[in-house]
Amino acid sequence: MIARVIVDLKHHQVNRLFDYFIPAEMESFLQRGMRVIVPFNEMKRLGFVVEIVEESNQASKEIEDVLDVEPIIDDELFEHIDLLMKTSNITLSHAFETVLPSEIFIQYEKQVICLDESRIDQSLKSKFNKNGVWVLKKSDIQYQYQIKKLKEAKIVETRTALKTKAKAKVIKTYHFNVNHRYHKINNNLELISFFNNHDEVNKADLNAYGFSDAQIKTLIKHEVLQVIEKEVIRNPYSHIIENKKDIKLTDEQNKVLNQILSKQDQYLLKGVTGSGKTEIYIKLIESYVMKGAKVLLLVPEITLILQMLKRVSPYVEKIAIYHSGLSHGERYDQYERIRNQNVHLIIGTRSAIFSPIQNLGLIIVDECHDQAYIQEDSTYYDAITHAIKKASYHQATLLLGSATPSVEHMFYALNKQFRLVELKSRPLNLPMPKIEYVDMKQELTKGNTSIFSEVLMQKIESRLKNKEQVLLLFNRKGYAPYIMCRQCGHVPTCPTCQIALTYFKSDGLLKCSYCHYKEAKQLSCQSCQSTAIKEVGVGIEYVEEVLKKTFSNAKIARMDKQTIKTKNGHETLIKDFDEQAYDILLGTQMIAKGLDFKNVTLSAIIMADLSLNIPSYTASEQAYILFAQMTGRSGRFYPGEALVQAYHLDHFAIKSLSKNYDAFYKEAIHIRKLANYAPFKQMAKITFEGEQYLKTYQEAFKIKKYLESQDHEVLGPYEQTLNRKVDIYKFEMVVKYIKLDKSELFIKITELMQKKWFVRFFPMSREI
DNA sequence: AGCACGCCGACT
DNA sequence: GTCGGCGTGCTC
């Protein structure tokens, strides 16, 4: 028998199946989806069995080891892998890596084993540990020649050692054996009496009561104490204890709940901000758990998991948490709990969509408009697309929830791909916040040069007086978007991206917003040594400064990437603001995400224009979502107001805020239709990288011609200069299509990859 | 991606 | 003759 194996190496040149003989003793239990260790070109590697076949003329080596008792990849996961491979041109190894937790992968360690210590050069002796093993580090490459010589002389040998990243955590507990036959037991009467009151005791407790390790050891030796090993779950959120409150649904909420419960289907729940979507989630979860089905609840960000957990935990007994921020050990435990069907509810971020849930009845995707459901780095995927797949696979109900669905999801709902259910009002008869606009052009003619309009200042003042809270959005990081020398006009730029560096006052740094480049801000100009350096434009740090000057008696907090850097920084800030340790919370777009503050009665957007000037066809949609979510933070428990300051108030993303989502959608979908953007045409970006300018352009052009011959519209290729690597030229094009045969395109791309071009296909729209 | 091998040039 | 750098070719 032959196993067809994908080897854990992420490169297009080895992106195919390799055949291995299955040793007779493995034949009975080896299955598709299991992890194996295989010899591969002078090394040992982890592999995944994708297929088992009778014969192959390719195989020449045997599988060395099988790591699993049960397949770690089931049929469902293979389908997700398949979908990933059809979405963008990644390697199979990338796909496996994406759907599996990193803990089930293996770390490879190259070891040099000493065979004859006496013949090893003095200078190398310190490299070996006391067992005569030298673990090679990256920096040890310089010794490769010496090692080779030693190997030839049979003084050392090398091997690949494999290490797991996480294991089950085991604690030992001690149990008193009444049937022991230890005659000197009377020396330990104290200990015995201790066990009269305690059944199972762990070592730390025994030590704490004054029993020494030596004492314990002796008693174990004479079988007075029995050791019981127990696996324990590392629980990252064990400190959450919340009280159960009775949830009373409004008539509108009840109607929606019953609609969703009545039929297994895929729903889009559109409910205005503060309409109580979470209460519906809780009722749904309770109902499914009662039926014995499992529920998966996705939220866009790690920080929202805690909030959701606080809300949901009183109603569900066994909850697993799954996200990328867990430690190896924690994630391993949560993964095993899910696999062993030991939980009712899984709360997680986008990667949780791949968790191995059996008997799944319901998937909820909260704030489904959020871009965070799309992973854009090495492996592109849209968790919502996979949620649809997962729901179909399990015949589970899917519920996408948002106050502001993406234009595409709304379009699909209106075209019956999702069943649309709506919540149009807030409970407790609370009105939606009243929206007011301020034209900053007029503010200037009135003689107010501040970034705060007079109306806004008055409104903040009155909130401070009434001990109510204010949320302010200013969506630009740092202190100033760039700095300039007034003597010679020099602007510090990023050496790789060639764009102006953003100035961060609190760290005294200049940072590039495209790559990770940063440098210290100098007191004098690097070009002419003048000290007349001026900040140009405003960022959130500057706004904070002005705010503190203007309202010197108010307690003001700032929330952006910089201020929440510390662990729990975000959590602490939210908690403090909620407990009214601050009057005003100023933040970038992160303050608009899913927060529920009782005492906020004013939310304001300063310089709304900042969010509109992004070069993407979804810019207006993203801006509207941000604004609507932001204004929706106000007046959740007491009537509230919202204020929008901008220069271009006539933009529809701003104008429709005072109307409703449907007004925005109508305008947005009209523009999409006119410009042939998604959802009317699907869109994708293809990037080409190569060492030669002209050749790379030509190869890109060939692909363009090919796509055009298939009647697809192609924009570009145009050169990309931003964030370009040294000596690598980059071209980019956008293809618009209705139905694209990607497998044929990917084959062409793969051919280019083999010829040392680097080509990537990124979806820009969601295909459903 | 990661490994060995082979060629080349520099340095005893 | 040795050592290290880099390009090339292969992986069941």
Chain-centroid distance of CA A531 in Å reads 43
SS (H, E, C) A458-485: HHHHHHHHCCCEEEEECCCCCCECEEEE
A40 touches strand C (CB under 7 A): yes
Q: At CA A291, angle to CA A290 and CA A292, rounded to 5? A: 90
State how far the Cα of A613 lies from the Cα of A99, in Å rounded to an integer.
35
Q: At CA A553, angle to CA A548 and CA A554, rounded to 5? A: 65
Question: Which has the closest alpha carbon to A64: A52, A46, A82, A76?
Answer: A46
pTM of model > 0.75: yes
* Paired sense of beta strands A106-114 and A43-53, if any: unpaired
* The nucleotide closest to A45 (CA, C1' atoms): B2
What sections of A357-493 are H helices per DSSP?
A: 383-394, 407-414, 440-445, 454-465
User: Phi, psi at residue A262, to the nearest 5°?
Assistant: -75, -25
Residue A162 CA to C10 C1' — how many Å? 23
Compute, in degrees rounded to 10, the torsion defined by CA atoms A574, A578, A584, A585: 20
Burial A31-50 (b: 16+ CB within 10 A, else e): ebbbbbbbebeeebbbbbbb
**Which residues of the protein are close to the nucleic strand B, CB under 7 angstroms?**
A 9-11, 13-14, 41-43, 108, 110, 144, 158, 160
Residue A13 CA to C10 C1' — how many Å? 10
Output the pLDDT for position A262.
96
Contact A157, A151 (CB under 8 A): yes
* The nucleotide closest to A42 (CA, C1' atoms): B3
Residues 190-219, chain A: which have Cβ under 7 A from strand C? none
Q: What are A620-661's pLDDT values in tens digits? A: 999 999 999 999 999 888 889 999 999 999 999 999 999 999
* The nucleotide closest to A146 (CA, C1' atoms): C3
Output the pLDDT for position A318.
93
State how far the Cα of A185 lies from the Cα of A2, in Å rounded to an integer.
60
Q: What are A152-161's pLDDT values in tens digits? A: 788 888 888 8
Beta carbons within 10 angstroms of residue A339's beta carbon: 16
Residue A567 CA to B3 C1' — how many Å? 41
Strand partners, A592: none
Single-letter residue type at A325:
G
Residue A262, classified by CB atoms within 10 Å of its CB into exposed (0-12), middle (13-18) or buried (19+), is exposed
Output the pLDDT for position A133.
87
Q: At CA A595, angle to CA A560 and CA A425, rounded to 5? A: 140
Question: Which has the closest alpha carbon to A310: A356, A337, A341, A347?
Answer: A347
Output the pLDDT for position A662.
96
The three-class DSSP label of residue A533 is strand
Q: What are A64-84's pLDDT values in tens digits? A: 999 999 999 999 999 999 999
* The nucleotide closest to A144 (CA, C1' atoms): C4
Helix axes A302-312, A569-578, angle to 10 degrees: 50
Residue whose CA is minimally distant from C9 C1': A13
Residue with tokens 């480049």: A517
Output the pLDDT for position A209.
63
Contact A134, A112 (CB under 8 A): yes
Q: Please, which positions of strand C sit below 7 A from a protein CB?
A: 3-5, 10-12
Q: Please, which positions of strand B sit below 7 A from a protein CB?
A: 1-4
* The nucleotide closest to A2 (CA, C1' atoms): C12
| Sheet with A502-504: strands ordered across | A502-504, A509-511, A518-520
Strand partners, A44: A39
Cβ-proximal residues to A189 (8 Å cutoff; 6+ apart), any chain: none
Question: Which has the closest alpha carbon to A379: A153, A100, A638?
Answer: A100
A39 touches strand C (CB under 7 A): yes
State how far the Cα of A382 lies from the Cα of A128, in Å rounded to an integer.
47
Residue A3 CA to B3 C1' — how many Å? 23
Question: Which has the closest alpha carbon to A404: A84, A174, A81, A629?
Answer: A629
A281 touches strand C (CB under 7 A): no
Beta carbons within 10 angstroms of residue A325's beta carbon: 14
The three-class DSSP label of residue A756 is coil
Residue A19 CA to C8 C1' — how many Å? 25
SS (H, E, C) A36-92: EEEEECCEEEEEEEEEEECCCCCCCCECCEECCCCCCCCHHHHHHHHHHHHHCCCCH
* The nucleotide closest to A158 (CA, C1' atoms): B3
Question: Which has the closest alpha carbon to A339: A325, A360, A311?
Answer: A360
Residue A44 CA to C7 C1' — how many Å? 25
Residue A146 CA to B8 C1' — how many Å? 20
Positive/negative CA dihedral, A612, A618, A622, A628: positive
Residue A144 CA to B9 C1' — how many Å? 20
State how far the Cα of A162 lies from the Cα of A92, in Å rounded to an integer.
21
* The nucleotide closest to A147 (CA, C1' atoms): C3
Element spanning A307, H or E: helix A302-312
A146 touches strand C (CB under 7 A): yes
Strand partners, A271: A423
A57 touches strand C (CB under 7 A): no
The single-letter DSSP state of residue A765 is S
Residue A700 CA to C4 C1' — how many Å? 38
* The nucleotide closest to A9 (CA, C1' atoms): B1
Residues lower than pLDDT 50 in chain A: none
Burial A693-722 (b: 16+ CB within 10 A, else e): eeebbebbbebbeebeeeebebebbeeeee
* The nucleotide closest to A108 (CA, C1' atoms): B2
Contact A313, A281 (CB under 8 A): no
Residue A118 CA to B11 C1' — how many Å? 30
Residue A146 CA to B11 C1' — how many Å? 18
Residue A122 CA to B10 C1' — how many Å? 26
User: Phi, psi at residue A397, to the nearest 5°?
Assistant: -80, 140
State how far the Cα of A328 lies from the Cα of A371, in Å rounded to an integer.
26
Residue A458 CA to C7 C1' — how many Å? 71
Contact A721, A689 (CB under 8 A): no
Residue A145 CA to C6 C1' — how many Å? 15
Residue A141 CA to C8 C1' — how many Å? 20
Contact A47, A36 (CB under 8 A): yes
